[in-house]
Amino acid sequence: MTEALEKLIGQPVESADTPAPLLDLDAFERNATYVAGFLKEHGLLWRPHVKAHKSPQLARLQLKLGAVGVTCAKLGEAEVMVAHGIRNVLIANHLSTPLKWARAAALQREAQVIVCVDDREHVRMASAAAANADVQIPLLIEVDIGMGRAGVQSGADALAVADDIANSTGIWLAGVMGYEGHLLTTWPPDEKHARCSRALAILTDAAADLRTAGHDVGIVSSGGTGSFEFTAHLPGLTEIQAGGGCLMDRFYAEDCHVDLEQALTVLTAVVSIQAAGRAVIDAGFKTCGNLKGFSLPRVLGRPGVTMLALSAEHGILEVQGPDEQLRIGTRIRLVPGYSDAMLVLHDHLIGYRADRITEVIAMPARGRLT
């Protein structure tokens, strides 16, 4: 932490230099408590995805509030989590080279790190790496439940991979995983419920078929913040990976209809006032992220101010109404369009409670893309 950041602790949140990513820790905790409690009521474990916040500190907070482990998108993220004391990790991704499998094998000496597979070649590399390191690597078979991205395509394919795992040394079948990411924005509720039910039935049927064939399937894991309230009641699941809801953004709130508190915002400042109701702020897409198909950031608490566009270092605001008197230096808070696209750009979050900065939260898994 730099000296300038250290001096912020105890100061009003508006005193942070802009642009700055802010995290309302009370809201984060309330969101996490709700998700963990909701899943527990339905007999499910919570393994939140950390690909958005990339912070061992926040991962430990989620564990304290009810999580049993964490989910990572990349092996590099898992290495950071394990190095910071997280002992139960799922890599919801596939490792394509012997080098990556060797790294995954090395992690087993410090933690249980589960890795996804969907091909017999994955099994071969996993077994070789485990044997070389004299460890056991737990594996989940990913099943494509309609997203069309990765995963085995049939029950027969899942059985072939499971049989290979059973006949190989150094690895064992921990369970199966599927992600209903293609259904997060489905609406109205009845349609979302029906489509999620059909998709997750593919996963639970695969698990049942593997058990019938004699395989032990302990974990049946699925997504996601945008759908957990529609999938938690479905039979056959054991855990949910919803993590981004602890932060929230426009995508989850408006496109996925998730009713959780907005904990993550961006503090920015007006740097220029233009004629015809325009103002410029010091947060562009290098601060907020900007993905095609996702909403621009929303101005928080100022109904007469709208985000029109983002350039690299600036945001262009439209200012309407006599009550919206912006000046150079006026502080503006933004709700990000998508937290994953935003936080990958930052090294730290400024955590606060009751509008007082309490801590600077490091995100050392940022940039760990291998």
Residue 325: band (very low, low, confident or very high) from pLDDT cuts 50, 70, 90: confident
Tens-digit pLDDT profile for residues 123-139? 999 999 999 999 999 99
Helix (H), strand (E) at residue 240 = strand 239-240
DSSP 47: -
Is 46 a residue whose pLDDT tops 70? yes
φ/ψ of 179, rounded to 5, equals -130, 125
Give the strands of the sheet with 171-177, arranged side by side: 45-46, 239-240, 219-222, 171-177, 137-142, 112-117, 88-91, 70-72
Q: Is 360 helix (H, G, I), strand (E, B) or coil?
A: strand
User: What do you get for the CA distance between the two ends of the chain, in Å?
Assistant: 25
Full-model pTM: 0.97
- The share of the chain scoring above pLDDT 90, in percent, equals 95
Tens-digit pLDDT profile for residues 151-191? 999 999 999 999 999 999 999 999 999 999 999 999 999 99
Is 329 a residue whose pLDDT tops 70? yes
Report the alpha-carbon distance of residue 135 to residue 322 in Å, rounded. Answer: 68
Tens-digit pLDDT profile for residues 87-129? 999 999 999 999 999 999 999 999 999 999 999 999 999 999 9
Is 322 a residue whose pLDDT tops 90? no
pLDDT at 184: 98
Work out the number of other CB atoms within 10 angstroms of the CB of residue 144: 19
Tens-digit pLDDT profile for residues 175-232? 999 999 999 999 999 999 999 999 999 999 999 999 999 999 999 999 899 999 999 9
pLDDT at 155: 93
Is 6 a residue whose pLDDT tops 90? no
Report the alpha-carbon distance of residue 277 to residue 250 in Å, rounded. Answer: 24
Locate tokens 């900007």: which residue?
290
pLDDT at 72: 98
pLDDT at 1: 67
Q: Which residues of 70-104 are buried (b: 16+ CB within 10 A; e: fewer)?
A: bbbbbbbbbbbbbeeebebbbbbbbbeeeebbbbb
Is 244 a residue whose pLDDT tops 90? yes
Helix (H), strand (E) at residue 79 = helix 75-83
pLDDT at 324: 81
Residue 264 one-letter amino acid: L
φ/ψ of 137, rounded to 5, equals -110, 120
Tens-digit pLDDT profile for residues 286-315? 999 999 999 999 999 999 999 999 999 999
Report the alpha-carbon distance of residue 76 to residue 69 in Å, rounded. Answer: 16
Residue 73: band (very low, low, confident or very high) from pLDDT cuts 50, 70, 90: very high
Is 240 a residue whose pLDDT tops 90? yes
Task: Please report how the helices 75-83 and 56-64 are oriented relative to each other, as an axis angle in degrees rounded to 10.
Answer: 70
Residue 275: band (very low, low, confident or very high) from pLDDT cuts 50, 70, 90: confident
The domains of the chain, with CATH numbers, are 3-20+260-362 (2.40.37.20), 25-246 (3.20.20.10)
φ/ψ of 116, rounded to 5, equals -85, 145
